[in-house]
Structure 1
Amino acid sequence: MSPTDLEAPPTASNGDAAPRIGPHPGYISSSNQYASELKIRRMLKENGCDPAREDNYRLQGVQLIDTVRQHLNLPVRTFDTACTYFHKFRLNFRDAEYNYQDAALASLFVACKVEDTIKKSKDILAAAYNVKNPEKPAASDDKIFESPGKIIIGLERLILETIGFDFRTRYPQKLLVKVVRSILGPDQGKEFFNIAYAMSIDMYKTFVPIKRTTFSMVMALVELTARMTGNHLDKVKDFAAARRQYHRPAVLETMLDILDLYVQYHKSTKVGTQFDLNRFMDIKIALNTELEKEFISRHMYYCSRCENEEPSPLTPGSITSPTATSSSLPGDLSMRRTARGQDGTMRFVFDPEAAREEQDTVAQYYNEEYEEYEVEVEEPIPVPRNEHPEGGGRGGYRGGHSHGPRDRGDHRHYRGRRFH
C-alpha cells in the first residue's frame, strides 16, 4: 500500500468522499459573572439545602474569611475575591460533600494567588487555628496542618473549575471612595464613609456580589447609608439622577437584600449592632412601598412559575463527593456539572458566543439520525413441561389431544430503530 492510499479520505458507497469525523472535541464551559435570584434559588433547591442551615453556613464561612484575612493583614480586595469564589463553590456542591470551613479557607487560598498576596495553605490554616485558640498558638510548620493542607489543595482545583478559570471579580470599596468624595467632598464624608465601608463588608454575607454590577452595589450602599443616618439623601438622589448607568430596580433589589440580612441576622453583622432594629424595618417598608407604587418586581428577571417547576435531574456522577474524585466540572452557574461521568475533555472558554458557535458546528457531526420500523415475526409456542403432546402425561387430558394456539404458532410484533 502506497503512502497516498493512507492519506486518501474514505469514500462512500456511491463514490463520493465521506466526511472524516475525528475524536469528540470535548465539552465547553463558558464562565458567567452574574446570576439571577431565580438561578440561585433553583441551584440551592437542586442541592437539597435547608434554608436555615444554608444561611448559617454562609454567614460563618464569610466571617471566617474576614477574620483570617485580618489576622494575616491581607487587603480587602483579597477578601472580596475569596467571598465570591466561596459563594460560587457552595452553589455547585451540596453541604454534605465538604466542610464549609475547608471551602472558606480554600477560597481564601485561591484568592491570595489571584490577587498576588500569596500565602501558603499552612499559613492560612495556622491563622485560622490561632484565631480560635489564642492561648495555644501553633506555627505554620506544625504537623497538625499536614492533612488539612492536602484538603485545601484538593479543593483548590475544584474552585478553579467552578469559576471556569475566570478570575474577574468586582471590588466595590474602590469605587465607593470615589462616589462618597464626589457627593460629600473629601473632608465632610468621613463618618458617612465608615458606615458605608462596614456595610460593604456585610454585603458579602449575601449573594449580592454575584448578582449585581459594581456601580449598582455602590449606589445601594450609599443610599442605604444615607437613609440609616438620615443625612445627604437628596444629594445621593441628585448624583444618581445624573448617571446614565444607574438602574433603579437593581439598586432597590440590592438594598432589600442587605436589609434582609440586617433584619434576620441583626447581631451577626458590623453595621447591624450600630442601629436599632426598628430603623432597618422602617426603611424596608418604605422601599417595599416604592416597589408597589412603581410596579417594580422585588427581584429582577424573576418568575414565580419557573421557581415552582421541578429542577432537572442531576447526572449520576454529580452525586460523587468533590474530595473523592478529580473529574472535570463545568465552571459557571449556568452549566452544572453535566459532563461528569461522560467521555471527553472539559474546556473552559471565556467568550460565550465563540463557545456557542463551536458547539453548533460540532453538533451536526454527532447527531444520530434513525427511523422506526416494524417487523412481524412468527414464533411457535413450545409445549408446556407438565403436558404430554399426546395427552397421556401428567396434567394432560386422558385419551384426547389438546388443541390450542400452540399448535398453530403465534404472531408477535416487534418494534425497533435503524440508525444511520
Structure 2
Amino acid sequence: MAPQPARPPAPAQDEPASNDDPIGPPSGLSSTPTLYISEQTIRHMLKSISYDEAREDNYRLKGIQLIDNVRESLQLPVRTFDTAAVYYHKFRFRYPSSEYDFSDVALASLFVACKTEDTIKKSREILCAAHNLKHPNDHKTPDDKAFEFPSSVTVGLERHILETIGFDFRAQYPQKILVKTVRKMFPPDERDRDNRGQKFMRTAYDMSIDLNKTFAPLKQSSSALVLAIIELTALILSQGLDRVKQLDVKPFRVDRAPVYETMMDLLDLYTQFPKSTKVGPRFDLNKLMDVKIDINKRMSEEGYQRHVGWCDKCSRETPEVHPVTPGSAKSPATSNSLSGSGSVRRKAGTNEGTLRYVFDAEEARKEKALVGEHFNDEYEEYEVEVEEPLREEPRHPNNGRSTYPIRGHGHHLDHGWGPYNRGRHTSYSDRSRGRKYGSHY
C-alpha cells in the first residue's frame, strides 16, 4: 500500500484567519431604495416608456378599481389594497401597457400584497374572485381547471413585480392615522348627537381609497396624506373648518407644500374622472371647481408651486419622447400578458444580476469600502529620459536635382499629370483624350 502524503496541520481555533482568504462574494452595486418619488421623476420615468397619457390613465383607474373590487370580494383589509396599489403603480413606471394586460398585473400585485401584509390568498382564489365579478352568471370555484394557465401567469408576474420594486415592500397606510385624527376632531358624544362626524368620517375614508388612483401615495408621507384628506373633506362639505384650524399639526411634522399638492391631485381626479371615484359623484362639479380655484389662489398668495421640488430647467433639458399610437400597440382588453408560457419576458436594457441584502448599515458600509479597494484605478506618474537620434533628410541620388522628365518644347515641366498640382495655364482635359503638355496660349 502506497504511503499517503502527510496532511498539513489544521489551524488552531484562536488563530486569526489569513488576509488572503476570500471574504465572500463581491457586493456589486449597493443602493438604498427611496420611499418617495417626486412628480418630475415620475414624469421622466413615464416618458422613457413612451407613456400615452390619455390611454394609460384609463388603464390606471381600471387596474386600481379591479384591485379594490377583488379586495372587497375576498374581505381583505384596506392595508393590503394600499400595498397592492403601490406595487401596481411602480410596475407601470417601468413597463408600458403594450407589453402586459393591466388586469393581469393588477391581480398579480394584489397577490404579492397579500403575502407582504400576511393576508395570504392563493392565486387561484384571487383569479376566481375576479372572474366571478366579471361574469356573475358563470360562477366558478378556485379548483376549476380554467385557472391553471392564469395561475402560472400570476406566479410569473409575481417574480417580475418583486424585481421591479427591488424587494422594497414599504407602502403608505394613511387610514390608521386618519381614523384616529377624525375621532379626535369629533368626539363620540358629538357624533351620537348629530351625524356630522359620521358623514365626515365616511367621506374622508372613501377619499383615502380614491387617493390610490393618483400617484400621491408614492410622493408624500402618510401624515401629509391625512392632513390633505381632512382639509379637503372640510372644504367640500363646508363643515368642520374651525376644527381643522384648531387641529395640532406639530406632531405630523409636515409642511404646507405637500398638503397642497395632495389636495390638487385629488381635485384633478375628481374633476377629470368623477365617475371612476367614490367621492366624485356625490358632489356637484361646480362645487369641486370652486374649491380647486380657491386652493390655487391660496397657493399663489403663499408662494407655493403646484408640485414640490419642481425644476423648470430640468424639464426643458429632458428630451421629448413620442408615445406610441394606440394602433401600434396591442390592446390589453383583447390580449393577454403572455401568449404561450407562464414565464415573463424581461425588458431589454435592464441590469440583470444577483440581488444581495445587508440589513446592518454599518456592515454594508464596511463591505462597500472593502470591495471598492479592488475597483479603484490608481495611476503613478514618472518621467523617463529617452535619447532619440536625429533623423537626417533623405537625399536624391542625382545630388538634389529634380527627377521629373523634361517634356515638350523647351525646358518646361509637365504639370498636367494627375494627381500632381496643375499649373495656371495647364489644360484640365481627361487623360483618355490625350494630354497637353506645358503649352502657352
Task: Give the structure-1-normalised TM-score.
Answer: 0.74
Q: Deviations over 1:313-335 (max 9, x none)?
A: 9xxxxxxx9985587x9xxxxxx
CA distance 1:184–1:362, shift in 2 (3 Å) = same
1:79 maps to what in 2? 81
- 1:206 counterpart letter in structure 2: T
Hey, what's the Cα distance between the residues in 2 that align with 1:114 and 1:47?
Answer: 28
The answer for the alignment partner of 1:181 in structure 2 is: 183
Pick aligned residue for 1:205 from 202, 213, 221: 213
Of the three residues 181, 204, 214, the one matched with 1:196 is: 204
Measure, in 1, the Cα distance between the counterparts of 2:418 and 2:275. Answer: 87
- Quick one: distance in 1 between partners of 2:363 and 2:228? 34
1:190 partner letter: Q
Mean CA deviation greater in 108-117 or 155-164: 155-164
> Comparing both structures, which one devotes a greater share of its residues to strand?
1
Q: Larger deviation: 81-90 or 255-264? A: 81-90
1:366 aligns with 2:375: yes
Q: Alpha-carbon deviation of 1:360?
A: 5.5
Q: CA 1:146 to 1:324, structure 2 compared with 1: closer, same or farther past 3 Å?
A: closer
SS for the counterpart of 1:204 is helix
User: What SS does structure 2 have at the residue aligned with 1:215?
Assistant: helix
Other-structure match for 1:144:
146
Shift of 1:81: 1.0
CA deviations over 1:193-212 (Å, ceiling 9, x no partner) = 00001111111000111111
Distance in 2 between the 1:350 and 1:310 partners? 36
Trace 1:68-217 onto structure 2 (pairs within 5 A): 68-186=70-188, 187-188=190-191, 189-217=197-225
- Residues 1:339 and 2:341 aligned together: no
Contact 2:157 2:344 in 1 (8 A): no
Q: For 2:103 and 2:358, locate their aligned partners in 1 and report how far apart those are by CA, in whole Å.
A: 30
Letter in 2 for 1:252: Y
Q: How many residues get paired?
A: 348
CA distance 1:45–1:349, change in 2 (3 Å): farther
How far residue 30 of structure 1 moved from its aligned partner, in angstroms, is: 2.7
Alignment partner, residue 32 of structure 2: 30
In structure 2, the partner of 1:44 is 46
Q: RCO greater where, 1 or 2, for CA within 8 Å and sep 6 or more?
A: 1
The equivalent of 2:56 in structure 1 is 54
Q: Distance in 2 between matches of 1:256 and 1:135?
A: 41
1:375-398 Cα shifts (integer Å, max 9, x gaps): xxxxxxxxxxxxxxxxxxxxxxxx
1:306 lines up with 2:311 in the alignment = no
CA RMSD of aligned residues (A): 3.5
Equivalent position amino acid for 2:34 in 1? N
Distance 2:23 2:185 in 1: 62
Q: Unpaired segments of 5 or more residues in structure 2?
A: 1-5, 9-18, 192-196, 322-336, 381-416, 421-441
CA contact (8 A) 1:57 1:100 kept: yes
Identity among equivalent pairs (%): 50
Alignment of 1:239 onto 2:251 = no
Q: Deviations over 1:152-176 (max 9, x none)?
A: 0011112122222222222111111
User: Which AA in structure 1 matches 2:262?
Assistant: T
Does structure 2 retain, via aligned residues, the 8 Å contact 1:31–1:163? no
CA contact (8 A) 2:64 2:106 kept: yes
Gap change, CA 1:360 and 1:94, over 3 Å in 2: farther
Instruction: Structure 1 unaligned segments of length 5 or more: list them.
Output: 5-16, 314-320, 330-335, 372-401, 406-420
Q: Which amino acid aligns with 2:64?
A: V
Residues 200, 221 of structure 1: 8 Å contact kept: yes
Cα distance, 1:307 vs structure 2: 2.4
- The verdict on how the C-alpha distance between 1:348 and 1:155 changes in structure 2, with shifts beyond 3 A counting, is farther
Counterpart of 1:27, as a letter, is L
C-alpha distance after superposition, 1:398-419 (max 9, x if no partner): xxxx9999xxxxxxxxxxxxxx
In structure 1, C-alpha distance between the alignment counterparts of 2:309 and 2:39, rounded to whole Å? 8
Aligned to 1:67: 69
More moved, 135-144 vs 22-31: 22-31
Aligned 1:271-286 pairs, distance under 5 A: 271-286=279-294
- Provide closer, same or farther for how the CA distance between residues 349 and 262 of structure 1 changes in structure 2, counting only shifts above 3 A: farther
* C-alpha spacing 1:46/1:357, structure 2 compared with 1 (3 Å): farther
Residues 348-363 of structure 1: matches in 2 within 5 Å?
Answer: 348=357, 358-359=367-368, 361-363=370-372
- Identify which of 230, 244, 255 aligns with 2:263: 255
Q: Deviations over 1:64-92 (max 9, x none)?
A: 00011111111111111111111111112
